[in-house]
A and B are shown apart, each in its own frame.
Chain A
Amino acid sequence: MFKYIRQRLESGRSASDIHFSSFVDWKKSNRYGFPYNTSCMAYDPVLKVLALGTKEGDIVLSGYPGVFWEVTVSGKGAAKEVKQLYFMNGTGYFIALFRDGGFTRYKINGSKIREDMSTIDARMKSATSCHSARRFPDESPIIYIGTVSGNVYSLLPSTMEVHEFFTFDNVRRELESDEEIKNALAQFSSKVSSLCVKPDDPSLMLIMLGRSVALLMSANHMVASIRVPVEVNDVVWDKKSDNIFMAHTDGQFTTWKAKTFYTGGHYFEKQETHELFGPYPCDEMTRLAVLNNETRTNNKPHIPLVAYMGVTVRHAGKTLVYQFASKVLDIIGAECLEDGTKLRKDVLLVLTEYELVAIDIADERWRAMTQQVFFPLNASPITAQLTCSSIEEHVWRSLLKMSEVYWKQKDLSDRQYPMTAGMESKISAERDSRGVNRQLFITGHFDGRVTFWATTPYSMRQLFILKTSDLFKDEEEKTVTGTLSSKASGMSLPVMEVGEYDEYCDDERLSIVLLNFDPKTGAFVCTNRCGAILVYSYYDEDVCLKLESKTIKWELEGTKPNLAKVQPLYPRREAVYFPAGYQPFRTGLDAKYVQLAPCVPIKTLSYHADLHMLAVGSMFGYALLDYRKYAVVENVFLGDNVPGDALNMTLNRFRSMKKSIRQTFRRKNRSSTPNTTVDITSDPEETFRPVERKIEGRATASDGPPPNYVTCIKVLRIPTTNPACLDDVVAIGTSQGSVIIYKLHEPKTAIAITAYKWRELRLSHGAPIVEIDLSCEAGNSPSPQQRLMVFTEEQIRGFSVPDLRSTRIKYKITSVEGTRIKNAAVVKLPLKRDPGEHDMFACVVTNSGTVNIHSLSSPRKRVEHEVFKPSDIAGMNSAQITQEGELSYLGYGGQELHKEVISAHSRRWLEPMKGVVLESLNRS
């Protein structure tokens, strides 16, 4: 009796008084990947921290992988675009210059960044160049800002005061006495294009006016001026050699010296002209940096130079050109001291639009370094993504092993990145081997590659890349990163392609559509756009395999001309070598993959790794397949009432974009010709009609019955006959609101699995099924409270098992709120104060951009959290919720991975250790 009462009381608690606050606590946790729209970078050689500023107004700081700070600039629009960043080396302060002329000083304060002080000066709006330098060796640096008017201002970081440092008008007369300089100023304007300070004597400053006139300043007096014959993009005053390097628009660079007469006057002297690319002018040289690679015998500086789309490193007659697939924005020579010898071994950091590449100058072959932070997530556009948590330890170990092999064969320098802030505390944190640290994020890309990322709560690291394109015939060999190859196009310089980013791909059929990963066995399935399904499994030995295809065919009524256009990819005739690691699943030496006919992309798939049962659903039907025997167990055609245009659209998205661009240009050309006739035939009411929506029941939709296709497939374990024993079932959800459940039977003999249709649930409202799951954790013993949760676009429903009766778990989200479910998951959230206790919740992503958490015992009770903008469809579609209550989604069109923590309890361990104590900062 007591037990009964206690049970009643407990169930009463969960049903009526749910305090979401004791389970749910939203927190934005981390962002991974290369920041979107990065505009500038800065490096602090004392703290060893790199900062990136973006046009979106974000500043991201990174130390050792996983040590991470982030701040979003207050303000809005283009005004908060970060233009420049400066570190007050070693103090933990840094200053950001924004587009609107504002300066803000920030301070690294533990795990957070504090906005310290800001100033806004209208004169700074027209800033054209900046330089930070110390006036006296032990003073904090001053930022000099050159403006379009030719004036230079100085900003004192300690007080954030702006002073006039140099006024162009004061020297205008003096300058214009020289006819040559006068002409140059008239031609190129007097804006300060670049400036630099002599490193060991900060009283000397070089100012370039209008890219053509160089002024030498000594304590804000002009002491020398010269007209430089070729326009100058960048000037650098090297400390070691005391040379001034000038980068010119014709692709050359020159070295100069500022010399002093014995009388005290100053003058310029040109030392050398370096022509990099032959006798003819070529790409502009936009940036220039000097690096040091000190050895016992040789310590001449390397000079890397940036030209558009490439970086060149030159040292002692040896030149190497690096090629990037995206535009190079900036380069930094990061000062690095070797640990034991204290020799300078600088690292060249190259910031491009889509990635950050570090080049090891101390390496014999000047190789790029193994990427450690700011991985380019969308190295090729992301077309599919998957988050897996709680991966079994043995699976995780084999993944790490594969990663090791992968990076070894990449031929990269394995030197540590110069950003090492917080390294000590991080390494100890990484040893933590809890399940939560074994999270996998898998991305499928447009060019057919599948990238595996290890996302511990602290950091994201690229494990390895699987190239599915290797298996197919018409694949083009691409230059592997890091190999030296001479370009045949007349350029005699050695060229090295670096960086992962490559947005181009010839064959859209290769692009990955769906991914599936089994955290218990590590079995991995991916499918591409032309309907090929590849199942990978981990193998310890290298192998040479010849792949064959196994076709699942749906007979269509009539012909679809659009379908005929898509040809399948054919496997290679010769055997393909696979190193130990992920290899196509095989029985014996018989490796096959599944090809759908017609070649349509798969809508959904599920893989039962124990039974090797693959269930796939496309827009025409579904099929169950025993992958061990390559036997089709069940193949059901649902109908081909898919409008042909829709199909065409999905397959030729990129082509159609090209077409629309072409049309835009045509329209533009047409409109430029004067056209006075007005088209009066069109109905004015038709053109001025406001945006309106037709209200029509689903059954009476004008274009016939809605298409019937598979939207969701799930392998589950539920009791089907005996409530005490669980059976393997496959639940198939369709677009017309039915759930078809198949029961699986594994025979003891060697014949294939059998499956028979067990039940079909037809929901009366007929909205597409989004997700099917169980309300309780999958366990070995069934629970009487077990419900089959069916999420349709419009409703959340719970059904009893095994008789599939409607229960009171029911919420009609569209009827009540007007939003539709895009994505759903059942999550288990522990109680904040007592992690031993937990409750199950339904977490849904709606099309209005909110993520709602519904109590499973009474779904009417819910909390709502706004995550996405309603227009961010890509973000919503990519949203995934792990069972532990962590939401991950792709931000900024797939360039970044964002994570948010839902669970109040798990916040503690899912939150990244953003602010590890910086010992160097504390010392100073």
Chain B
Amino acid sequence: MSAHLDGSYNSSRDSANSQNSTSRQSHFNSFNAAPLPSLLQVKSKFDAEWRRFSIPTQTGAPNYDAFRRLVEKLHHLSGVQFTLCYNANSGDLLPITNDENLRKSFDSARPLLRLLIQRKGESWEEKYGYGTDSERKRKGLSSLITTQKTPKRNYSISNPEDFRQVSAIIDVDIVPEAHRRVRLCKHGSDRPLGFYIRDGTSVRVTERGVVKVQGIFISRLVDGGLAESTGLLGVNDEVLEVNGIEVQGKTLDQVTDMMVANAHNLIITVKPANQRNTLSRGPSTATNAGQPPTSRSHANLNLGGTANSSYDGGYHPRAAAAAAARGDSDSGSDDEVIDYHHK
């Protein structure tokens, strides 16, 4: 494979970051700006497999369908639903879904076009929108350099056929059948979570027989709120855990504070008052249909496992709590430092 070096190849991510703002601004108007090399090198990754190949571009950019078929063939992905993403210059991971963004992706081939193939429903980006995690991944050298914070994006990039996830039932394989673990993703939206909790008593079966214990329940849902619109939480559902931490023995105010503190990524384990929907039926339609629940829950676990290890999340009794840890750790590095001295 011949290497076509046009321009400087930036290997370190910090310089890529320094170009953040300029590349963002040229996102729409630089469609035909850079001349394409005659042979485009591609490095694609699916799970742990890597492929290197090149595509001729003399005859113009290949169309999306052909490109997708090529990738499918190379990685033997027939029968697997997958998404295509590439590492953009800005450091963002952006989707390839049509001819136009395929053509756009070639701009980032310096000299390699780095493709990431993921199973549909597994990627972070599908849940939270593409291009949102560049801040999250700024670790190592690049984070040492204090740059002007890029302005928060107010549009979201996603696959056209996808909707941004607002809620999900997760960890179906480890949560008892009668319980349900729900993630409410408030990401970026200003829609209120919209529910109330109250004190109450619930019945537990213990070694000493059936005992009444204090519990926390959902008392009502606000019309038009996130909780109501997902349909995953109902009035009188008992709240068992908040982001992997048991609420047993905590007061109403403590649980309220826990939920508010985790509001950006709230994971509640509930025991639904209406048990008809928990045992027989799998995940509700609000999540991505078409995937067997076990594989998706696996995906969540994997994500939790590979997420930035948390030093602060405190005590995580179960693997499920890793989800909480991830929720914690990604927000931590959102702190801003404004340096007036360097200005």
Interface set of A (CB-CB < 8 Å, partner B): 689-700, 702, 720, 743, 756-765, 767, 794-795, 803-806, 808-812, 814-820, 847-848, 858-860, 870
Contact = CB atoms under 8 A, between A and B. Distances in A.
Contact of A762 (B190, B252, B338): B338
B192 A693 contact: no
A860 B311 contact: yes
A185 to B, nearest CB: 56
B52 interface: no
Nearest to A820: B257
A562 B154 CA distance: 40
B251 A848 contact: yes
Nearest to A763: B335
Contact of B311 (A805, A810, A848): A810
Interface in B321-343: 324, 328, 331-341
B310 to A, nearest CB: 8
7 contacts: A757-B340, A759-B340, A763-B335, A805-B144, A811-B312, A812-B261, A860-B311
B338 to A, nearest CB: 4
Contact of B192 (A700, A812, A820, A860): A700
B256 interface: yes
A818 B250 contact: yes
Contact of B219 (A690, A702, A757, A859): A690
Instruction: Classify chain B's interface size.
Output: 35 or more
A803 B256 CA distance: 34
Given A692-B197, A700-B192, A759-B338, A870 B251 contact: yes
Given A692-B220, A697-B264, 8 more contacts: A691-B199, A759-B338, A804-B337, A805-B144, A806-B332, A815-B328, A847-B253, A860-B312
B196 A693 contact: yes
A762 B255 CA distance: 26
A816 B337 contact: no
A-B pairs, top 9 by smallest CB distance, nearest first, are A818-B254, A697-B263, A764-B334, A810-B312, A816-B314, A814-B261, A693-B256, A818-B258, A762-B336
B243 interface: yes
Contact of B259 (A695, A765, A811): A695
Q: Determine which residue in B197, B255, B328, B338 has the highest number of CB atoms from chain A within 10 A of its CB, and name it.
A: B338
Nearest to A694: B196
Given A693-B252, A815-B261, A819-B254, A765 B331 contact: yes
Nearest to A720: B341
Nearest to A813: B314
A848 B256 CA distance: 13
- From DSSP, what is the main secondary structure of chain A's interface residues? loop
Nearest to B342: A759
B263 to A, nearest CB: 3
B260 A697 contact: yes
Interface string B188-201: 00111111111110
A864 to B, nearest CB: 12
A694 B256 CA distance: 8
Given A697-B263, A756-B340, A764-B334, A690 B198 contact: yes
Contact of A695 (B199, B254, B260, B341): B260
B84 interface: no
B186 interface: yes
A799 B339 CA distance: 14
A812 B262 CA distance: 10
B215 to A, nearest CB: 13
A85 to B, nearest CB: 39
A820 B186 CA distance: 23
Contacts of A811: 312, 314
Q: Determine which residue in A702, A761, A818 has the highest number of CB atoms from chain B within 10 A of its CB, and name it.
A: A818
Nearest to B314: A816
A32 to B, nearest CB: 32
B338 A816 contact: no
A697 B328 CA distance: 15
B315 interface: yes
B314 A814 contact: no
Contacts of A812: 261, 312-314, 328
Contact of A815 (B196, B220, B262, B339): B262
Interface in B214-260: 219-220, 242-243, 245, 247, 250-260
